Structure formats: C-alpha cells, structure tokens
Structure 1
Amino acid sequence: MKKILSGILILVCAFSLAQNYKYPFQNPKISVEQRIENLLGLLTVDEKIGMMMDNSKAVPRLEIPAYGWWNEALHGVARAGTATVFPQAIGMAATWDAPEHLKTFEMISDEARAKYNKSFDEANKTGRYEGLTFWTPNINIFRDPRWGRGQETYGEDPYLTSVLGVAAVKGLQGDDPQYFKTHACAKHFAVHSGPEWNRHSYNAEISKRDLYETYLPAFKALVLEGNVREVMCAYNAFEGQPCCANNTLLNDILRGKWKYYGMVVSDCWALADFYQEKYHGTHPDEKSAATDALKHSTDLECGDTYNNLNKALASGLITEKDLDISMRRILKGWFELGMLDPKSSVHWNKIPYSVVDSDEHKKQALKMAQKSIVLMKNEKNILPLNKNIKKIAVVGPNADDGLMQLGNYNGTPSSTVTILDGIKTKFPNAEIIFEKGCEVADPSSKTSLYQNFMSQKNGEKGMKVEFFNNNEFKGKPVNISVNKTGINYNSFGGTQLAPGVARENTSAIISGIFKSSYSGDVVFSAFASDIYTLFVDGKEIATRKGPDARHPSEFPIKVEKGKEYLVELHHSQKGKYVNIGFEVYRKDLVNFVSVKEKVKDADVIIFAGGLSPSLEGEEMLVNADGFKGGDKTTIELPKVQRELLAELRNTGKPVVFVLCTGSALGLEQDEKNYDALLNAWYGGQSSGTAVADVLAGDYNPSGRLPITFYKNLEQLDNALSKTSKHQGFENYDMQGRTYRYMIENPLYAFGHGLSYSKFTYGDAQLSKNIINSNEKITITVPVTNISNKDGEEVVQIYVKRNNDVLAPVKTLRAFERVLIASKETKNIQLTISEDSFKFYDEKTDDLVSKSGDYTIFYGGTSENSGLKSLPIKVK
C-alpha cells in the first residue's frame, strides 16, 4: 500500500511540475526516465523511425526540431567552419600527456557547444556538423603502418589508447551531474583497421586472445571508465557477421559483459553493405538488414536503411517494442544533452562564441604541437641550431604546405603557420633559401598556377563553384562560392561538399578566368568520381566517365602570356560518393642537380618531406605508386623524395629531415642521408612554429613514438603469422606485430624519443614484490636530469608475463610525462593496476588475473637496451 501511495505521489508531483509545459516530457524537473516514457507514448511509429537515423526528422506537433547526429571533432571541431585545429590524433598520442589531452578536449567541446548554441539560435535546428554528438575518438589499434586511417588513432598500444581515449571522452562530455556538454563516441567497434579498399566486405577472423588483449581493452575502458555515451559499430564483418549486427561484439560483450546502456550508432551506410552482393551480401534485402541491425541493438543508423523498418513491422519481423528499446536510448541522448530543455536551464549554453579560435585555444594548439614532436635522431647533436646561423636552405614538398598540416577529419583554422613560415620567423637574421624540390610522390615538379584564376572577368581571385541538388545542372545552384585555395571536394567519410548540398544526385560547375603568366604549356589536371567534362573557351577539351574519371588526367594546353582563358569543369554525380579535383600547373622534370646547386652553400639544409593526407586517409581515390585506396602498399618514403634526400646529402652539408606523416615509414635505406630526424606528424595550425621552436632550441623536444617504425616492410611481413588465410596487411593476427609481439629490433621503437636533456634512471622500488591477484602496486622510479637543460621525460612502465610464449613480449601498463630541472632528481611514483596482470582465459572467455612470475621494466623507451627491470610474483 505504501508503494502505491508513493507512486501516486510521484505522479501528482510530476503533474504539478508539468502544468507550465504542454507535455510532461518538456519538463526538466521530472526524471529522465519519466520524460522518455511520456515522449515515447506520444510519438507515432513513423515519427520514431524518422528519429532513428542520423538526419533526425523534426516532429513539429511536439516541438521537436530536426537534428543532425553526425558531427566530428577528432582534433578540433571539424567541417563546421572556423575552429582551432590541434595536431592530428596520432600526433597528440605522441605527447604521452593525458592531462593536456583532457584540457585540449575541454577546449574542443567548448567550441562545439558555442557553435551549437549559435546554430540553434539562428535556425532553431541543427544540421550535419552543427550538433553536440561527436563521433570521436577513433580508438582502433594501429596494428599495421599501411593503414591510411591510422593517423586518426592513438597508435598501436591498447593501454596508451585507453588512457588518451578516456581523457578525450571526459573532455568532450564534461563533468556536470545533470547535462553532458557533448557526446563522445568510441569507434569503430571493434576489430577494424583496414584495408580501406575492402572494408565493406572484409571479414576479420582472429583468436579470442588477440580480441580481448589487443582489440577490446580501449573500448572497455571508454565504456566502463569514461562512460562514453555512444559506440559506433564498424563496416567490416567479424567471424562472418557484419559488426553492426554481430552477436559476439554487440550482444555478448558490449551489452552483456560490459552492461553498456548507451547508444550504438552504425558507421555511415554500413547497413547498406549487408544486402549488397559486392560487399558483405549477408542479407537478402534492406528490410532484413534493418531488422538484424535493430535486433542486435544498433540504435541509430547513419544512412537510410532504417527507412525500411516500416516494412519490417508490416512483415512481422519486428514489433514496435523493438523500436522502443532503441528509442529509449536515443531519447535519453536528447534529454541528457538538454536539447529539449529551456536554454537557460543548461549552463553549457552560456559558453560564448568568442571561445572559438580564441587566443587561449591557439596557445594550446601550439603547446600540443610542441609536445607532439619526436626527435628520433640527432647525430653529433646537430640540433638545436645556432641562433646566429647565417644561411638556411629549406627544401621539400611539405615545407610550405599548410593544408598538409591539418591531417584529415579536420576543421578550418583562421590561420596556419607552415614550416617555412616558422623558420623565417624564428631566424630573422638568416638568409632563407626555399626550394620545393619535388612533389610528395610525383616524380615531376609542379608549379601551381591556381593563383592565376579569377572567378569572373575582373573578379576576385579563385574559381567560382556552383553546386546543384540534381545531376543535370538544372535550376538555380543551391550553393555558390569562390574557392581561393584549390579545388578538392569529396564526400568520402561523409564530408558535406558545401552547406545545403545533398549527398547524392548532385552536379557542379567550376569555372574561372585563367590569365597566363607565360607562353608555353599549362597543364590542367582533373579527376572526379563519376562524369566530368572540361571546357576551355567553350571548347570541349575532354570528357571522362566511370573508372577513367577517377584518376587524375592531365591536359596540356598551349597558352600565351597575358591572354585570358575561360575554363569550366562540369561534374555530374551518378554514384554514391562525390570526389572532384582540379589543378593547374606548370610541369617540369625534377632537376635534383639544380636543387643541389641552389642549396650547396647553406650552413644547414632542412628537408621537410614525408607523406600527406592527400595520399593516406579514408577510402580515397589515389593514383600514385605505393598507395591504394587511402592505404600504403609500401612503407618506404616515396622514391622521388629518397632521391632528392640523397642528392642533398651529396652537398656535404648537415641535413635535418623534418618528417610529416600520419604513419610509420621504413626509413632504413634513407638513414645515411640525414643527420637529424624530427617527426612533426600532421601538427595542426601551429605546426610550423612548433617545428621552428624545436630547431632553434626554444622548445626542448620530449614527444615519444606511439607506434613502431619498422626497418622495412619485409621486417613486418616476415614476422606475421603464416597460419591465417589472410596475409600481410589483411592479416589481423598480432603475432610479430607492434612492439608487444615483435622479436626483432625495429628501426625506432615504440616509446622512443630523444631530448636536448639527458636523463638517467636509478634503481626503482616496488611497494610489494609479492602480490595477490587483483591487487595493484606502486613503483617509485628515481630519474635524474644530468644535463644543463631543463626537460620533460616520459617515464614508461612495462609488464611481461614470464613463461608464457603466447603473452606479449612486454606491454605498457603505466606512464607519466614529467618536467625535471637541470641536475634535479625526481622520484616518480606510478601505479601498476590490477588489470596489468590480466590475460585471456579460455574457461571464462575473458581477461582474468594470472598467477605466476612477472618482470617489471622501466625506462624512457620500450627498447630493451633502455630499460631496467624488477621481478614480481603474483599469487
């Protein structure tokens, strides 16, 4: 009787509180559960289905606005206008600095809230890239350096990925007990890391040991420690079932063992792969695909297959109760973000737009770029450079490329400092010679002439771009703009081509007046995903379609100096994705001897090379030797750069290689051609300043590698298991891969990084030498800076399970980045958690504590020669 009276009292109170609202679900004073049930009872079936896709439909009668669940914030708010752009994720992993990582994502979520507030205030709705639900971070394991999307991850180690992933989640979601600042999303669940070209059809088959010890720990940490609000299931299949309808991953592990009650969202158009024969082809039609995904608790679809849920209902494959299970989790997201509440009730809504691109955020972008830089080699202490140096030669394709620095899944900074800019500013009294020398992977030298375009006669610089929401150029354009930087549009990964432009059945006219600065050949180069036609002065120069359109084609045109030419590129979309590229340039063969002659008198040569996000990334159309579909087929430096480096070495002058990359390269054959190697990754908007600071010694480098740099591809492939039906890159087995399972010595080890300081390690002390299972311990490590320069050291703790041939060689279990003054000794105390002694157990089908003898390694690297050790026994 008391329970009944109590329930009546709650309902009366709720009714009383709701009197000022049209519906109880609008009342923020009642419980979220009550609000969900009220709204669920008000929604029709069609309205529910309309809210179960990323482009959530408005329900005007209930005052629910349209909403775009799809938003990105990998290393800054992406694809949403001006935003602070921090180093690419792999670069932030190289900082090994969890507190600063947390701070960075607190700033990113501040900018995200500010942008959402502005979008909602202006339009009373939010479209794609304007919302609060961010599909970040990518915590897949970077198991193979060939994967183009590895740049989006925190590297190859489960523990480092877990720590940084949890920090990102907490920074995004905030610490308010009532409202989340934004949503974070752990992706891509779970065994997913390329290749890009077959991700829609690939079936990953691995041992349970690899699953639990390598591929799952970061996801488990984000769910159980980070309280991540969304999990994204992957494109590929696992054990024969697509990941977005996978019994083991979704039902048994995520919802079962981990008791995850948050949202599961599909990767974009992943459900369409279920029923297409050229992809997974595991389901006969859209209706069955939608049914299976829903039954396996994929709540929200990025795509449109869930439009078929009505058919599934009519066929009896699902019931409305099945919809409601997912809808409860979706609606909880609306309420816990405060998106249906009065603006004044959510304190995150007070974040002003002035935080976007603020000075404080710019300073943090520089700090993270500095912290991310890894000094990998420094023979004869060639670095830092003398501040009074007289002549510096800056050479290489990445020296003056600000776009390269932004990586992929990036925002748009208000300004970018290139490496060349940074060096010029840092050394104002030195003579700076700049020679691009070569392209990143093209054996020819291209001099861009894009700056010679005007949008129209006497118009502004750049080309006019008109998009139509049909593929026949009919009616008025839905978006007109002037592109001042270069034509490169693509919708891979879901990038919207421009505001208001549809994803499918579009067309574009790109036009401009080209005024030649010389007489001779000018090369117009174009590519597109479907069909394009190139016109010059109204004359059709070329038409390409199908596969012929997808790779860059060059069209040399004779021009006269000072004459103007009307150039138009017409593109019509027939397929699913849009990809449009157009360049204009003067093309010459690379003249290595000429470059050498121009720089031979310099005091030092800075070579800025490596890779580019135009070559490695998500499901890309790339036509270059050594690259396929966004991935690499080799890990060597592109041939043209190797040859240029060798020529620069022949000058006899010191060569400093500033490497820009999102992945590891096999540089063994190039090592002889440079004295110092500085890894700057894709360092974000302030990368050029950070590089110059390190070169000049104004910043003491302290980054560490989050990935292994193998000597060459053979060293990696020869170590891989030969028992898998997949070989090489397609093999997901961990045997021989990454520092945890590699027996041979790599070129540069995981955790490696030099400094302008020198540190020594004393004898560490454990709080206990014998512990019980499920008991944590502390280790105290004395570290001394024996140099004359203050510096940061990254203290690393590794654990090895002895007498277990299947266990990792060693695995990271704790770390801390710490500032140590010159001649100072610090006792660094770290906790080795009870999880450090857990390994896969077949009986329990999970990780359990294993008794036995272990070795604790400690030092500033994972390389054996740089580590000390202590024995420990687990009872």
Structure 2
Amino acid sequence: MGQGAVSLLTASLLFGGAAASAQKSESVWRDPSQPIEKRVDALVSQMTLEEKAAQMNNDAPGIPRLGVPEYDYWSEGLHGIARSGYSTLFPQAIGLAATWDAPLLHDDAGIIALEARAKYNQAIRDDIHSIFFGLTIWSPNINIFRDPRWGRGQETYGEDPFLTSRMGIAFATGLQGNDPKYFLTIATPKHFAVHSGPESDRHRFNVNVSPHDLEDTYTPAFRALITEGHTDSIMCAYNAIDGVPACASDMLLKDHLRDAWKFQGFVTSDCGAVTDFFSKTGHHYSPDVAHASAAAVKAGTDTACGTEFSGLPQAVREGLITEPEVDVSLKRLFVARMRLGLFDPPSMVHYAQIPFTENNTPMHRELSLKTAEESIVLLKNDGVLPLKPSIHRVAVIGPNAASLAAIEGNYNAIPSNPVLPVDGIEEALRGKATVTYQQGSSYVQGMVVPVPRTVLRPAESSKQEGLKGEYFSNPQFSGSPALTRVDKQVDFDWNAASPLQGSNHTDFLYKDFSVRWTGFISAPAPGKYHFSVRQGQCHACKEHDSYSIWLDGKQVYTNSTQNTNNWHEHPATDFVLDLTSTGPHALRIEYAHHDGLFGAGITFEWQPPAGVLRAEAVKAAQSSDLVLAFVGLSPNLEGEEMKVDLDGFIGGDRTNIDLPQEQKDLLEALAQTGKPVVVVLMSGSAVAMTWSKEHAAALIEAWYPGEAGGEAIADVLTGRYNPAGRLPITFYASDSQLPPFTDYSMKNRTYRYFTGEPLYGFGYGLSYTKFAYSGLKLSTTSLEAGKALTAEVTVTNKGGSAGDEVAELYLIPPQSSPMPLRSLEGFRRVHLAPGASTTVKFDLSPRQLSEVDSDGKRAVRAGSYQVYAGGSQPEEGEGVSQKLTITGESSLPE
C-alpha cells in the first residue's frame, strides 16, 4: 500500500472518528433521559475556548452549530418581574419584610416566578432571548441593612440576620418552585458579602470586617439560603473584603460557600464587578482583564455580569488559568439551564406550559393588595384612626400623595393599573367625605416633582383635573387615536410596555406608540416656574424617545435623542416658563416612543417658587376636618448609585436621616391650622420623624407599597384593614446616634447592639385592638448545649376588633462582649377575633441558641439566658419571659 493510501486511510479514521464522536456527544446532550452531568459534559466538549468564554458572560450568545440558543442570565424579580412589560407589582422588599409573614412572602415569590415563566414562555415562542426575559432571577437582596443612610436598604429585609434569613428562604423557595426535577426559576441571593453602602464608593471600597461581625451578622442569611433554601445561584458583591474583591475571595467563595456550605450552584458577579478588579477607579487588584477574569473564575465566579469573561481565552494562553478550570464554571451554568428545562421538549416540562395569560392577573393583584395591607406599620395613634364618620372633609397633602415612583420603589415591576394614595382615599371615602388634594411641597429644596393634577384641566372651563390624552398606535401621531382619555397627570412608567398593550400575546411587546396631551395649566401664583421632562428607564436601549411642549401655541421645548448603553434613568431636561398670570395657559405635550423594546415612560415635572405649594396646602387644610399628610422619601432620591447631590442626599445614599426641611416646614404649617394631622410616611428606609411622634395625631409607615398601595393605605386609614406590620429596622432619633457610615463594625448598630433610645424600635408596630401574652412555657429550663428547645406562649385578643398580631420571640444571652443585647429567634403572624386566644409554638435549633465569639467561632455556650415572647422587643410591662440555663458547650459548623 502506498504512502498516499495510508494517509487517506489515516485521515478517514481520524476525521471519521471525530465526526462520529461529535454526533454521539450531540445525541447525548440532547437526550433528556441521560443524567444532566453527562449531557453537560457532552455539550461542553464540543465548544471552542472562545465559545466557552462567551457563554460565561451574562449575555450568552447562541451557538447555532450546536443548537444552543442565546440566553441572558440577567432578570430582576425583587418585588415583581421588572423591566419586561406589565407585571404584578408587590411592595418594595423592605415592605415585604414589614409583614413579618414568611408564608405570604413565599406566595408572593411564587406569583413572581409564575409570571416570569409566563413571559419567558411567550418570549421563546416569539423568538425573543432578551435581557430581563430569562429565568435566572437576581433576587432576593439579603444584605443586612446596617445603616439607614444606605440608599439600597429598601431592597433588603431589614437589619436582623434571623428575620432576613426566614423571609429570604420563603422568597427563594417560592421563586424556585417545588418540582423535584425542574426549577420554576432560579433565585440569586445577593450581594455576597458585607455589602451595604456607601454607594459612591462601592466599586473600590474595602471592608476589614471582624471575624465576629462576619459570622454573627453578615453571613448567616446567606448560609441559611444556601443550606436550607437550596438556592441554585448567588451573586458576589462589588466591595473588597480584607483587601480582596468579593468576586475573587477564596474566603467567601471557597471556604464559606463551597467548602463549609456545600454549595453546588453557580456564582454570578455584580454588574461590572470584575472590571473593578483592574479599572483605574476600582480595587487595583489585577493589571488587566485577562488577569481579572482568571482570578474571578479560579475563585469560583462562574458568570460575569458584563463582558469581562471574554478575556478568558487570553488568560488561558498566558497560563493564568487552564481550560479545564474554565470548564468547571461553564458546566455549572449549563447544569442550571438544564435544571430549568431549557433544553428539554416543552411537553416534558410542565412549567413550560404556563401561558402568557397567567401574567398580571386580577388574582395576583389581590395578593399584592393583601401584602401591601400587611406591610403597613402603625407607629402612633391618639385615637383619630380609624377615621370616624364625623370626618366629612379630608385634605390629602404632600409630595407622596400622587407620586407613581413612591408606590413603585426601585427594581420594580411595571404596574398596569397603579393606585396612587390620593386616588385610593377618594375611592374609599366616596359618598362619605369630600377629599381635597394639594401637593404641598417638593421632597427637598432643588428637587423637581410631577406637575400635580390640581393645575391641569382638559378644557379651559372644565372642573375636571388632568389633560386630554390621545394615544396612537404609531410614533407619528397619525390616523385616529386608538385610545382617548383624561389623564390626571403626566407621570407614566411603560418600560417594555405600552399604554395600548392588550392582554393577548400578539401585544406582548408593543413597541411603537405616541401620545398627545392637550389642555390648560393654571399657575397657583404668578412667577417663573422650572419645568422638566423625565424619560423612562432603559438598559442598552436603542430607542428614540422624542417629546415637545407647547404653551399658548408656542413651542417652548423639544427633544429628540437616541440613547445607548444607559441603564439609569434618562436625565431630566430643565426649562423655565414665566407664567405671569394665574389664568389658564393652553398646554400641549407630545411624546413618541419607537424602535426599541425598553425605556418608555415620561413624567412632566416642575419646581414652583418657594412657598407657593405650601400656601395652597394650608388653604386646603383650613377648610377640612382632618389632614392626611403624605411625606417621606422617593426612589428618585434613595437608590443605587444615583446622580443626586441635594441637601441630605448624595449618590443614592443619605447624609442625614431627618425628614427634609421642606417637608418639616409643611407639617408645621399644617399643624398650625389646628386641624388634626395624620402623617403617612412613605420611604424605603428609616426617617427620624421626631416632630410627628410629638405632634401628629397619628403616624404610619407605608414604605413603597406597590401597585395597590393607595388602596391598602386607604383600607388602613378607614379601618377596613386593621394594621399589624412591624418595623424590620430601627428608627433612630437622630444622626448623633449613628456611628460613621463607612464603619462596618456592628458596635452600637441595629437593635442587637444599639445601646441608645430609638425613636421606634425594631419589631415595633401598633394595632386598632389590644393583645396580651401569657403562659410562656419552655420544654426545659435547663438545657444541655447542642439540644433543641421548644417555647409556647398564649396570645389573646383583648380588644373589640379582629386583627393580626405578630408574636416575636427573643433570646437574651449573658451580657458580655461581643454578645448581642438580644436576638430575634422566632416570629409568627396570627389572626384573632375579639376575645380569642391561640397558642404559638416556637422551635429553636441549636444554631438559634448559639453565639459567635471574637474569633468568629459559633457555639452554644453555658450560661444564664432569658427567653422573651411578646408583640415587640423586651420592654418592662410588655410580654412574658422565662429564664433558661444552658450547660456545657457545643461547637457548630461555620
């Protein structure tokens, strides 16, 4: 046989064998009957190094030759599926925590996941593989809200590790479903770890946290969600710990996560966190993207939010990491996608059968309403609430009374039918009392607020508030309007949605539309008024949003911009109008959205001359029997890495915790009318409401309460719902009680270590009825370390109305450093009719009875303890307690 024949035979054997092997690998990975690990091995074995690296960025491209579709790991579901069209909007996470109702939160998360599946299934049918339409949900945020100045604290479940862990487990297990084979969605607790501000420094901040604080406060909730909640994903944080970025930390990602907690899922970075390794404004940890990507993957970060892992091929070539090490991370990602059923026939995955009609249903809205009602905390009541039949004229006043942002919060779903507080109150009091609304003030000096309905009319002689809106199904205002209505104000969020969107799947992603608003605007007083237009949010959007404004027939402003790669809100544009009279001026606003999926929305805003809004509010109060003052904060002031620099606010965080002076002045002016003032605080964090505690007739905290927030607030004010929410955070009396914001030590922070007198304590909340506690019984009063303990207490409704009560159980350890003063170790929300009693049982595991020493070692230790049960923290004359003696010592795993 000649040499040429031998070569041909060799080539045939080699390439024929390779082809056969590839065919076998393809048949294996596509075969649902094969073990997932075997399928994943077969799939990954067919990829090039460059393909592998691309699959490890959050926006993973398709690989057509292998039949792998594109997939984006980035989806948001903090309190509703966000940025992907209309969905059910639940209260902001801090409000969810204020329910102290873990079973309810589990149900909420189940609805969020159901709607995510409904959207994903329809998106796949429409060949859409976009960001925000996936099934890997980057929630919940279980960072400890250690300081009320942190702007993102609103996204958390508060300041307590135990409450956070129980609520977090409920949420995460609700997201992931209960199917033994497939995930409904995948939960991603974040940001691991020790991440809670300041926002302006988060890309470069290093935390030297003590071993005690790390194990006692910052990691327990993460441990619980991994070991008990079995979440399949986790997000590492921006900040560094002990000089190492969290997404490159062996201590976090190997020692804790993989070794101690036996985590089997995948780790994603926060967005751009790997870039922070080498950027000029980051940690200066790596010289370039190749070294950064290698460091992250070697530590255990499996996917990057961003494009950094495209640097992995170069890292392999430079010997910084091996291809088998890359494969480890890549395989975790494909295991997750297979456990979601993304590569199996839809007929095999019952979650894949969920229709789009399961999204944003009336039943889901009812659950949002129930959750909002449960989240409201009654902080003070001199008897004015619930509102009495003798109240016939009510003044609703304040910047949060008619603000869409103030019911949405951040990382929010897009509500299709949001109920603002003033509208909820008007509906609740219809036929019973006259409601007068005035904006009253801005949030803080220098900040614009939506132009209120009180200065807008659809026709010159009309008494109706608002502007005539004509909605067109194209961006050119052409043809007849598809919808005509009167909008009370121009304040809309249509992110990936449309005001013309229907309920069937053909309108799933209605992208092009335009709106013309016409009518008249009347200034409350002559003067120069600053106006602006705020556009919606977008991420990597390529849409054209254009708007123009005419006053008295003259165009006073126009804008047409193309926005790319900007995920924050588009900046507001500012212009000044000289309204020389209070008479009506013809107003026309035109807005068009086209050529893009994300980012639609518009708010027509203003900043009136000082004192004008307050004067109008005082007039309304003087002619009323009672004032409902809606004050507080806004997600346009507190939030993630924001471009805000105003008195008391910087970069999304706060520089002090007081209610802004402009709103203080409003409250004092309203009180001077002599009318009772009920203050409704809406915020994502604690506010020092000292004036309200001393002078208001009542004070409630309503958070950012979701799409049914206005209705829920009205239900509480009128007594249709008896409030029982509890504070998940401490309300401090002033900044002087707080350590420096950049100090991550827990000394004198949160109720567990704070030695001062708070304005309102963690766990505090009132009701329209009274509850009593009795008969606290322990399974033993002398416990051997390492054993479990059971506590039972009787709760009785001593009042005249039915209501919920939150029974709280605290463990008070021997008072020695570094032990906490007390720790929440159990809670349960119960409903009781007047005169009814129930027995509440708490099961305490050895871990709940343990403490962490200065070296970070957790153990159950000998000593004299107290167990307390009541409706709030231990206080003299409240609740019941029992002594507990623990003998011996029992070490617990990390």
TM range (shorter): 0.7 to 0.9
Counting only pairs closer than 5 Å after superposition, residues 665-676 of structure 1 correspond to structure 2 as 665-676=687-698
1:22: Cα distance to partner?
5.2
Task: Select 1:36's aligned residue among 40, 45, 57.
Answer: 40
Whole-Å separation in 2 of the counterparts to 1:398 and 1:626: 18
- 1:223 is aligned, of 222, 226, 233, to 226
Q: Contact 2:679 / 2:696 at 8 angstroms: preserved in 1?
A: yes
* Contact 1:490-1:497 within 8 A present in 2 as well: no
2:806 to 794, 810, 815: 794
Give the equivalent residue in structure 2 for 1:276: 279
More moved, 94-103 vs 763-772: 763-772
Secondary structure of 1:869's counterpart equals strand
Q: Using the alignment, how far apart are the partners of 2:875 and 2:493 within structure 1?
A: 56
Give CA deviations for 1:442-471 in whole Å, capped at 9, x if unaligned: 36886367969987678879899999xxxx
Match of 1:832 in 2: 844
Q: CA deviation at 1:564?
A: 8.0
- Counterpart in the other structure of 2:529: none
Deviation at 1:780, TM superposition (A): 1.0
Structure 2 counterpart of 1:391: 393
Q: Secondary structure at the match of 1:348?
A: helix
Say if 1:256 and 1:522 are closer, same or farther in 2 by CA, change over 3 A.
same
Are the counterparts in 2 of residues 513 and 564 from structure 1 also a CA contact under 8 Å? no
- Matched position secondary structure for 1:330: helix
For 2:728, which of 696, 702, 706 is the aligned residue? 706
Q: Indicate yes or no: 2:550 matched with 1:515.
A: yes
Shift in alpha-carbon separation, 1:857–1:356, aligned structure 2, 3 A: same
CA distance in structure 2 between the aligned counterparts of 1:466 and 1:174, rounded to whole angstroms: 29
Report whether the alignment pairs 1:627 with 2:649. yes
CA shift in 2, pair 1:463/1:760, >3 Å = closer
> Are positions 1:435 and 2:435 aligned together?
no
| TM-score using structure 1 length | 0.86
Structure 2 residue 236 is the aligned partner of structure 1 residue 233:
yes
Q: 2:539 is matched by which residue type in structure 1?
A: Q
Alignment equivalent of 1:421, drawn from 423, 436, 446: 423
Number of equivalences: 801
Which amino acid is 1:587 matched to?
P
Provide Cα deviations, 1:247-267, integer angstroms capped at 9, x if missing partner: 211121111211212101000
Match among 759, 763, 766 for residue 747 of structure 1:
759
**Which secondary structure state, in structure 2, belongs to the residue aligned with residue 760 of structure 1?**
strand
Give the whole-Å Cα distance in 2 for the aligned partners of 1:668 and 1:213: 31
**Contact 1:55/1:128 (8 A) holds in 2:** yes
Match of 1:473 in 2: none
Provide Cα deviations, 1:798-848, integer angstroms capped at 9, x if missing partner: 1121142311100100010011111112221111221122222467x5322
Whole-Å separation in 1 of the counterparts to 2:324 and 2:615: 73
- 1:58 to 2:62 alignment: yes
CA distance in structure 2 between the aligned counterparts of 1:188 and 1:593, rounded to whole angstroms: 45
Instruction: Select 1:854's aligned residue among 859, 865, 871.
Output: 865
1:556 aligns to 2:558 (yes or no): no
Q: What's the CA shift for 1:673? A: 3.4
Partners of 1:509 and 1:568 within 8 A in 2: no
Contact 2:535–2:570 (CA under 8 A) maintained in structure 1: no
Cα distance per residue 1:731-782 (max 9 Å; x no partner): 1110001100011120000000000110111131111111122211111111
Secondary structure at the aligned position of 2:883 is classed as strand
Residue pair 1:522, 1:586 contacting (<8 A) in 2 also: no
Of 651, 657, 663 in structure 1, the residue corresponding to residue 685 of structure 2 is 663
Amino acid at match of 2:759: L
Helix, strand or coil at the partner of 1:165: helix
> How far apart, in 1, do the equivalents of 2:668 and 2:405 lie?
26
* Cα 1:239–1:595 shift into 2, 3 Å: same
Q: CA separation in 2, counterparts of 1:305 and 1:596?
A: 56
Q: What secondary structure does 1:830 align onto?
A: strand
* Shift in Å, 1:867: 4.0
Q: 1:523 touches 1:554 (CA, 8 Å); kept in 2?
A: no
- Comparing 831-840 with 735-744, which one deviates more in the overlay? 831-840
Question: Which consecutive unaligned segments of at least 5 residues does structure 2 have?
Answer: 1-21, 457-465, 485-489, 496-509, 518-531, 888-894
Residue from 330, 337, 352 that aligns with 1:334 = 337
Alignment equivalent of 1:107, drawn from 111, 114, 118: 111
- Select which of 405, 408, 412 maps to 1:406: 408
What is the Cα deviation at residue 32 of structure 1? Answer: 1.0
Q: Which amino acid aligns with 2:341?
A: G
Q: Distance in 2 between matches of 1:270 and 1:243?
A: 9
Query: How big is each residue's C-alpha offset from its partner over 1:326-379, in whole Å with a ceiling of 9 and x where there is no partner?
Result: 112111111100001111110111222222111110110000000000001001
* Match of residue 731 from structure 1: 743
Structure 1 gap segments, 5+ residues each: 1-17, 468-477, 502-507, 533-548, 571-576, 721-727
Distance 2:494 2:80 in 1: 28
Does the alignment pair 1:90 with 2:110?
Answer: no
CA RMSD of aligned residues (A): 3.3
248 and 167 in structure 1: CA distance in 2 versus 1, 3 angstrom threshold: same
In structure 1, what is the equivalent of residue 609 of structure 2?
588
Per the TM alignment, residue 103 of structure 1 is displaced from its structure 2 partner at its CA by: 0.8
8 Å CA contact 2:545–2:561 kept in 1: the answer is no
Inter-CA distance 417–227: structure 2 relative to 1 (3 Å threshold): same
Aligned equivalent of 2:669, options 647, 654, 661:
647
Local SS of the residue matching 2:539: coil
2:811–2:825 contact (8 Å) kept in structure 1: yes
Q: Deviations over 1:287-344 (max 9, x none)?
A: 1111100110100111111111111111111111111111121111111000011111
Q: Which amino acid aligns with 1:404?
A: A
Distance 2:778 2:402 in 1: 50
Contact kept, 8 Å, 1:464 with 1:510, in 2: the verdict is no
Q: Distance in 2 between matches of 1:631 and 1:705?
A: 20
TM-score, structure 2 as length reference: 0.84
Which residue does the alignment assign to 2:51? 47
What is the CA–CA distance in structure 2 between the aligned matches of 1:564 and 1:842, rounded to whole Å? 66
Q: CA deviation at 1:524?
A: 9.3
Contact residue 476 and residue 592 of structure 2 kept, 8 A = no
Which residue identity is paired with 1:68? D
Distance (whole Å) between structure 2 residues aligned to residue 707 and residue 484 of structure 1: 44
Alpha-carbon shift at residue 170 of structure 1 (Å): 0.6
Q: 1:529 to 1:707 in 2, by over 3 A?
A: farther
Partners of 2:125 and 2:750 lie apart in 1 by 48
Does the 8 Å contact 1:393/1:433 carry over to 2? Answer: yes
Superposed displacement of residue 624, structure 1: 2.1
How big is the shift at 1:137?
0.3
Structure 1 pair 763–363 and aligned structure 2 pair: CA distance change class (3 A): same
Report the 3-state secondary structure (helix = DSSP H, G, I; strand = E; otherwise coil) of the residue aligned with 1:156: coil
Distance in 2, matches of 1:552 and 1:693, equals: 35
Structure-2 residue corresponding to 1:309: 312
Rounded Cα–Cα distance in structure 1 between residues aligned with 2:320 and 2:669: 68
Equivalent AA in structure 1 for residue 549 of structure 2: F
1:81 maps to: 85
